[in-house]
């Protein structure tokens, strides 16, 4: 078995004389099939998100300190007055 760690399903692609497992671009021996692949799915941790309604906009505050807003100013500049008051 060939271990492949990815959140996406593995696929086998033949490019010229090489056989490659996608999406990791791992070169494997010719003739390898999906039955030969040991797909290891990494554990993804979910983060806590607090949602605040500021006027007509929504500010998301993530547990890692990241703050986002859905206003046009934040979309364009990645900062705005709505999200600024929640920055640590």
d(CA 32, CA 17): 13
For residue 64, the model assigns a pLDDT of: 84
Q: How sure is the predictor about 63, in pLDDT bands with cuts at 50, 70 and 90?
A: confident
Q: What is the pTM of this model?
A: 0.51
Q: Per-residue pLDDT tens for 8-56?
A: 999 999 999 999 999 999 999 999 999 999 999 988 777 788 999 988 9
pLDDT tops 70 at residue 88? no
User: Which two structure tokens, joined as six digits, stand for 68?
Assistant: 């986002």
Cβ atoms of 60 and 50 within 8 Å: the answer is yes
Q: Which runs of E-coded beta strand occur in the chain? A: 2-5, 11-15, 18-22, 26-28, 37-40, 49-54, 57-62, 67-69
């Amino acid at each position: 078995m060939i271990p492949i760690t990815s959140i996406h399903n593995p696929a086998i692609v033949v490019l010229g004389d090489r056989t490659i497992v996608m999406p990791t671009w791992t070169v494997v021996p010719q003739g390898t099939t999906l039955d030969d692949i040991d797909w290891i799915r990494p554990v993804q941790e979910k983060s806590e998100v607090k949602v605040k309604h500021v006027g007509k906009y929504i500010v998301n505050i993530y547990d890692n300190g990241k703050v986002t807003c859905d206003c046009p100013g934040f979309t364009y500049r990645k900062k705005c007055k709505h999200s600024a008051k929640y920055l640590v």
